Amino acid sequence: NRLNNDFQFIDVGRQDPQKKDARTRSREFAEIYEPYKPQDAASQAHRCLHCGNPYCEWKCPVHNYIPNWLQLVAEGNILEAAELSHRTNTLPEVCGRVCPQDRLCEGDCTLNDGFGAVTIGSVEKYITDTAFAMGWRPDMSQVTWTDKKVAIIGAGPAGLGCADILVRNGVKPVVYDKYPEIGGLLTFGIPEFKLEKTVMERRRAVFEEMGVEFRLDTEVGRDIAFDKLLEQYDAVFLGMGTYTYMEGGFPGEDLPGVHKALDYLIANVNHCLGFEKDPADYVSLEGQRVVVLGGGDTAMDCNRTAIRQGADSVICAYRRDEENMPGSKREVANAREEGVEFLFNRQPVAVVGEGKVEGVKVVRTRLGEPDENGRQRPEVVPGSEEILPADAVVIAFGFKPSPSPWFESVGIEMDERGRVLAPEKGAYPFQTTHEKIFAGGDMVRGSDLVVTAIYEGRQAGEGILDYLKV
């Protein structure tokens, strides 16, 4: 019997879902991985060793019951697997697509020690995609509605995580977002080659069926006053993200041809989805020599967007080495296959050009002593300056918090970096300094990951239930 093979992990190697070839995929804004066939998902899931105290589960920020749903997939029991995976995760099909599994669940899989980790992320994606295609929907039949309602600001992963917990416990979530679609950065930041927009469209329909109400195209603080929400609702959750552009602080950053990463990506998404308000926002890098500065997920998305727009060449310059890049290893490999050239240990010191970008001046670095976060600091190698010729430069150094002007007047306190104070271990998890207001995701922890935002939104949802005594 196939399910009794204790040596499946040796007999069957790790096999990721098939990828489209690099030439085809670098011309289209579409996901690059084919779905698993049922027999492949089952045989990959069956490689799991069912470790007594599974490291993967601990490392996963939402603590998914990974070995248990792998077992259900190995048995072909997809609907039960979907129920189980939704007990801990609001958007398993999204996490399966975009989590940096190499440094989370799969990085800690026991089989990573020479046999190849179980393809946890791909199986997680397979479960929900397949269950939805089979007509599965979250079971709301046991929910008893209360008379409580909660306003959620932000329809990103944190806000959706919170809405999921509340609605399943009979509390009505009303989610406000300034964008015309739900998803936050899942829709307007992360490009389609990692996460097709239909995934979040399907989720929106599912959430609405569950009883979540969305009020989109509505900016709190502009279209509706925050005080009104505070008056009208029993509690408020903030999941507003971090959006302040981090500058490089070197000369030439304001030259025409220098682009801010998120503006560039959002305009491209809006252009592709037909949400464009002003066509002048869209930047095409077709035919240009592009240099992308940075080494995280955002930089990787800019590299691969530029390739798809038909850039002549794309160089990604990063100040540490490949081992120390913050982005997912899978996405670095994908970018390289699609034609991105990486220059490691290069730190930009200026964008150069007469009236427009002509190049980026970089210096070489070597890694020195660890900084306060334990990451080795890049040190400049004297006399190592060089100029990388470029027609366009995209700066992707990350984001700082973007607190709203009304935070202080309502009594929401922040730390010295502008992150909202909402401790996990407070009286109620993720409660801010105003008792009725909770917060989570990037605006609390700083720019991080989809899965950590979901976790905090869900925990805050539990905190709100306790606070409301539901």
Residue from 48, 62, 117, 285 touching ligand SF4 (CB under 6 A): that is 62
- The answer to whether 255 and 353 have CB atoms below 8 angstroms apart is yes
Choose from ligand FAD, ligand SF4, none: what does 86 bind? Cβ within 5-8 Å by kind. Answer: none
Q: Which residues pair with 237 in a beta bridge?
A: 152, 438
Choose from ligand FAD, ligand SF4, none: what does 66 bind? Cβ within 5-8 Å by kind. Answer: ligand SF4
Residue from 70, 73, 82, 105 touching ligand SF4 (CB under 6 A): that is 105
Apex 385 CA angle, 380 and 389, nearest 5: 130
3-state secondary structure of 113: coil
| Two tokens, residue 435 | 């008792």
Please tell me whether residue 101 binds ligand SF4 under the rule CB under 6 A: yes
Please tell me whether residue 184 binds ligand FAD under the rule CB under 6 A: yes
- The answer to whether 224 and 176 have CB atoms below 8 angstroms apart is yes
Nearer residue to ligand FAD within complex by CB, 191 or 378: 191
Show the binding pattern over residues 117-146: x = contacts ligand SF4 (CB under 6 A), - = does not: ---xx--x----------------------
Segment interacting with ligand FAD, rule: CB under 6 A, options 69-77, 247-255, 431-439, 449-457: 449-457
| Binding footprint of ligand SF4, residue count (CB under 6 A) | 15
Residue from 95, 166, 238, 444 touching ligand SF4 (CB under 6 A): that is 95
- CA 155 to chain centroid, in Å, comes to 13
The single residue listed with the structure tokens 């909202």 is 420
Nearer residue to ligand SF4 within complex by CB, 203 or 259: 203
Nearer residue to ligand SF4 within complex by CB, 124 or 456: 124
Q: Pairing between strand 258-260 and 213-215?
A: unpaired
Contacts of 161 (CB under 8 A, 6+ apart): 90, 91, 239, 440, 453, 454, 455, 456, 457, 458, 460, 461
Please tell me whether residue 98 binds ligand FAD under the rule CB under 6 A: yes
Helix axes 329-337, 297-308, angle to 10 degrees: 20
Residue numbers 254-283 binding ligand SF4 by CB under 6 A: none
* Backbone phi and psi for residue 145, each to the nearest 5 degrees, phi listed first: -75, 135
Residue from 104, 150, 235, 444 touching ligand SF4 (CB under 6 A): that is 104
Show the binding pattern over residues 146-165: x = contacts ligand FAD (CB under 6 A), - = does not: -------xxxxxxx------
Please tell me whether residue 60 binds ligand SF4 under the rule CB under 6 A: yes
* Backbone phi and psi for residue 37, each to the nearest 5 degrees, phi listed first: -80, 150
* Backbone phi and psi for residue 289, each to the nearest 5 degrees, phi listed first: -90, 115
| Shortest CB 454 distance to ligand FAD, Å | 8
How many residues belong to the chain?
470
Show the binding pattern over residues 417-446: x = contacts ligand FAD (CB under 6 A), - = does not: ------------------------xx----
Please tell me whether residue 451 binds ligand SF4 under the rule CB under 6 A: yes
CA-to-CA distance for 388 and 385, rounded, in angstroms?
10
| Shortest CB 86 distance to ligand FAD, Å | 18
CA-to-CA distance for 26 and 36, rounded, in angstroms?
21
Please tell me whether residue 127 binds ligand FAD under the rule CB under 6 A: no
Residue numbers 244-263 binding ligand FAD by CB under 6 A: 262
| Shortest CB 62 distance to ligand SF4, Å | 5
Residue from 8, 44, 64, 447 touching ligand SF4 (CB under 6 A): that is 64
| Shortest CB 465 distance to ligand FAD, Å | 19
The DSSP line for 38-101 is HHHHHHHHTT----SS-HHHHHSTT---HHHHHHHHHTT-HHHHHHHHHTT-S-HHHHHHHS-G
Segment interacting with ligand SF4, rule: CB under 6 A, options 100-108, 173-181, 244-252, 300-308: 100-108
3-state secondary structure of 432: coil
Choose from ligand SF4, ligand FAD, none: what does 121 bind? Cβ within 5-8 Å by kind. Answer: ligand SF4
Segment interacting with ligand SF4, rule: CB under 6 A, options 92-100, 153-161, 372-380, 432-440: 92-100
Please tell me whether residue 301 binds ligand FAD under the rule CB under 6 A: yes
Apex 387 CA angle, 347 and 298, nearest 5: 45
CA-to-CA distance for 419 and 224, rounded, in angstroms?
23
Q: Identify the CA nearest to 160 among candidates 202, 118, 223, 193.
A: 202
Query: Alpha helix locations (H) across 244-358?
Result: 261-273, 297-308, 329-337
Q: Which residues bind ligand SF4 (CB under 6 A)?
A: 60, 62, 64, 66, 89, 95-96, 99, 101, 104-105, 120-121, 124, 451
